[in-house]
């Protein structure tokens, strides 16, 4: 691949400890189009990036997701984009194998950090959280991308513009993975090395807050990609709750001769609501399957 066709995209916020080395390492690999889109850092990140040879843009909004969307839509003209974090945790030497699949017909490449994760690169809590999120994604969306939260991505600009992305924060990686599964974007995973953040470099990620956002994003996106799960999970919960309350009412009535009219009404409502959601989920899944079949036939005709 001609690296002149590649833009190395680095969204940053207060990464002064690492950004100069990150930019220099990719320029040493032959990438001269390095774009740093900065969230108005206050520690000199922009100046250090410019001195290292990067083109620097200050994003209009805030958050990683907004930065990536703005950069690709308005500032990137290259055919291919290599996206990474500016914290020095990714290996510049892995760039070639990240980009190679794009010349083989793939449109999106995810770097698997777990393939070669160095000691101390991720806390035990983060490892567990990542594993759970990846399992949930595979179950909900039917694709196993192994590391959907990886910030090391390579993709065609065209495929990125085909995605519907709305996340402003760290949910951008999750959204991209869901869009790849939903739209049938040719995606592959390659093993990469993942290093600990250098001393003095603080993470902008809050495991609890951002983990919750990612789980909500996974569930929200299931509405249009796996409606049976989206509606069925709530329906099963409501039905199970209603059945449990009905069992309690029956026990109290037959064993202790105590009636619970209000609980009985709530139980019936829960069961009816749950069954209706389950039926709606089945119908929605059927409609989605028919839609996908029709789109496939249209694409074949084209």
Same domain, 183 and 236: no
Residues 236 and 211 both lie in one domain: no
Same-domain pairing of 39 and 52: yes
Residues whose CB falls within 8 Å of the CB of residue 199, separated by 6 or more in sequence, listed in order: none
Domain ends where: 225, 248, 265? 225
Tell me which of 9 and 296 has the higher pLDDT.
9
| Long-range CB pairs of 145-149, under 8 A, 24+ apart, other chains included | 145/110, 145/177, 145/180, 145/181, 145/187, 145/189, 146/110, 146/112, 146/114, 146/189, 147/110, 147/111, 147/112, 147/113, 147/114, 147/189, 148/110, 148/173, 148/174, 148/177, 149/173, 149/174, 149/214
pLDDT tens digits for 169-202?
778 999 999 999 988 899 999 999 999 988 756 6
Q: Given pLDDT bands bounded at 50, 70 and 90, which one contains residue 257? A: confident
User: Do 182 and 283 sit in the same domain of this protein?
Assistant: no
Q: How far apart are CA 59 and CA 12, in angstroms?
A: 10
Contact 250, 268 (CB under 8 A): no
CB contact set of 36 (below 8 Å; sequence gap of 6+):
10, 11, 12, 19, 23, 45, 46, 49, 54, 55, 56, 57, 86
**Banded model confidence at residue 296, pLDDT cuts 50, 70, 90:** low
Phi, psi at 187, each rounded to 5°: -130, 140
Give per-residue pLDDT as tens, 18-35: 999 999 999 999 999 999
Q: Which residues partner with 80 through β-bridges?
A: 6, 156
Tokens, residue 187: 């995606």
pLDDT tens digits, one per residue of 58-102: 999 889 999 999 999 999 999 999 999 999 999 999 999 999 999
Q: Please report, for the domain that includes residue 130, its CATH number.
A: 3.90.550.10
Query: 173: burial class by Cβ within 10 Å (0-12, 13-18, 19+)?
Result: buried
Q: How many structural domains does the chain have?
A: 2
Q: Could you tell me the residue range of the domain that residue 153 belongs to?
A: 3-225
* Confidence band of 275 (pLDDT split at 50, 70, 90): very high
CB 259 within 8 A of CB 252: yes
Helical segments of 107-200, H only: 124-141, 157-161, 172-183
- End-to-end CA distance of the chain: give it in Å, rounded: 29
- Over residues 212-228, the pLDDT tens digits come to 777 777 787 777 778 88
Q: Which of 206, 225, 244 is the last residue of a domain?
A: 225
> Based on the domain organization, do 181 and 237 belong to the same domain?
no
- Based on the domain organization, do 114 and 262 belong to the same domain? no
pLDDT at 164 over 80: yes
Tell whether pTM > 0.85: no
Domain identity same for 189 and 262: no
């Amino acid at each position: 691949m001609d690296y002149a066709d590649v833009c190395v995209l680095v969204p940053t916020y207060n990464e002064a400890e690492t950004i100069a080395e990150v930019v220099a390492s990719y320029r040493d690999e032959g990438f001269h189009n390095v774009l740093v889109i900065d969230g108005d850092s206050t520690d000199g990140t922009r100046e250090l990036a410019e001195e290292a040879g990067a083109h620097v843009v200050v994003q209009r909004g805030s958050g990683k997701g907004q930065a990536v969307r703005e950069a690709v839509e308005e500032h990137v003209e290259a055919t291919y984009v290599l996206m990474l974090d500016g914290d020095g945790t990714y290996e510049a030497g892995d760039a070639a194998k990240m980009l190679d699949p794009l010349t083989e017909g793939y449109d999106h490449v995810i770097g698997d950090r777990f393939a070669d994760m160095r000691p101390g690169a991720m806390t035990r809590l983060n490892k567990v959280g990542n594993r759970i999120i990846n399992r949930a994604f595979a179950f909900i969306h039917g694709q196993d991308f192994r590391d959907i939260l990886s910030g090391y991505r390579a993709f065609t600009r065209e495929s990125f513009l085909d995605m519907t992305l709305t996340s402003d924060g760290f949910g951008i990686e999750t959204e991209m993975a869901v869009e790849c599964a939903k739209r049938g974007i040719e995606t592959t995973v390659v093993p990469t090395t993942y290093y600990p953040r250098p001393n003095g470099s603080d993470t902008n990620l809050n495991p609890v807050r951002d983990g919750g956002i990612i789980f909500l994003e996974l569930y929200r996106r299931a509405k249009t990609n796996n409606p049976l799960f989206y509606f069925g999970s709530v329906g099963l919960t409501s039905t199970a709750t209603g059945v449990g309350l009905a069992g309690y009412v029956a026990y109290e009535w037959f064993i202790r001769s105590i009636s619970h009219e209000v609980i009985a009404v709530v139980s019936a409502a829960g069961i009816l609501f749950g069954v209706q959601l389950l039926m709606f989920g089945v119908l929605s899944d059927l409609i989605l399957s028919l839609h996908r079949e029709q789109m496939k036939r249209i694409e074949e005709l084209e």
